[in-house]
């Protein structure tokens, strides 16, 4: 079955919901706790943040990498369910020009939950003066009738973090 057929099959039925898993260990916070107006005001879509406890980002969904910045600080994913996600490691970390980031995936890669995408040196990023809070953005949040975020709790990689309904 081609990709369109799979999407039609999934969206043609009554949706049971789509789950976005945690891409890293850490504490999940609301957008209001992110010290950057673009993310705090949710200009790019529904946003939450993770204060990372570890040093890696894994795939939170099955899907395709649509873009990984060559600096390793951010990536975008389109899930098999049609969710468009951005994971942005830290604030203003593009300024590091790739220092302290190691990329393990590339544009166009097919991914499944738990696949290692990026490693980063949290301690060195903090020493360089950057906030490591990691915004997670649902760019096409208007497509969903309900978005439930699980903020205010500690998560491990692949714990439930966001639930969406069409």
The predicted model gives 103-126 an average pLDDT of: 98
Structure tokens at 143: 């497509």
Specify the number of domains making up the chain.
1
- Decide if pLDDT at 110 tops 70: yes
The mean of the pLDDT values for the chain is: 92
pLDDT tens readout for residues 38-86: 999 999 999 999 999 999 999 999 999 999 999 999 999 999 999 999 9
Domain, as residue range, for 90: 38-154
Whole-number pLDDT of residue 8: 40
In sequence order, what are the beta bridge partners of 164? 18, 147
Whole-number pLDDT of residue 140: 97
The predicted model gives 127-135 an average pLDDT of: 98
Tokens 């993770």 locate to: 50
CB 153 within 8 A of CB 29: no
Please report whether residue 25 resides in a domain.
no
Please report whether residue 24 resides in a domain.
no
- Decide if pLDDT at 115 tops 60: yes
Q: Are strands 26-30 and 153-155 parallel, antiparallel or unpaired?
A: antiparallel
Rounded to whole angstroms, how far apart are CA atoms 156 and 103?
Answer: 21
Q: What is the pTM of this model?
A: 0.90
CATH number at 96 reads 2.70.70.10
CB 158 within 8 A of CB 13: no
- Indicate which residues carry an active-site annotation: 88
């Amino acid at each position: 079955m081609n990709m369109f057929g799979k999407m039609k099959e999934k969206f043609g039925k009554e949706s049971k919901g789509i789950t976005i898993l945690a891409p890293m260990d850490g504490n999940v916070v609301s957008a209001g706790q992110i010290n950057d107006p673009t993310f705090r005001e949710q200009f790019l879509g529904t946003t939450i943040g993770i204060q990372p406890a570890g040093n890696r980002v894994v795939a939170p969904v099955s899907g395709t990498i649509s873009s990984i910045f060559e600096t390793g600080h951010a990536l975008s994913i389109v899930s098999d369910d049609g969710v468009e996600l951005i994971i942005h490691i830290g604030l203003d970390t593009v300024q590091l020009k790739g220092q302290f980031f190691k990329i393990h995936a590339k544009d166009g890669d097919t991914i499944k939950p738990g696949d290692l995408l990026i490693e980063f040196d949290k301690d060195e990023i903090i020493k360089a003066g950057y906030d490591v809070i990691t915004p997670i953005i649902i760019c096409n949040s208007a497509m969903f009738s309900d978005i439930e975020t699980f903020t205010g709790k500690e998560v491990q990689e692949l714990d439930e973090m966001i639930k969406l309904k069409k």
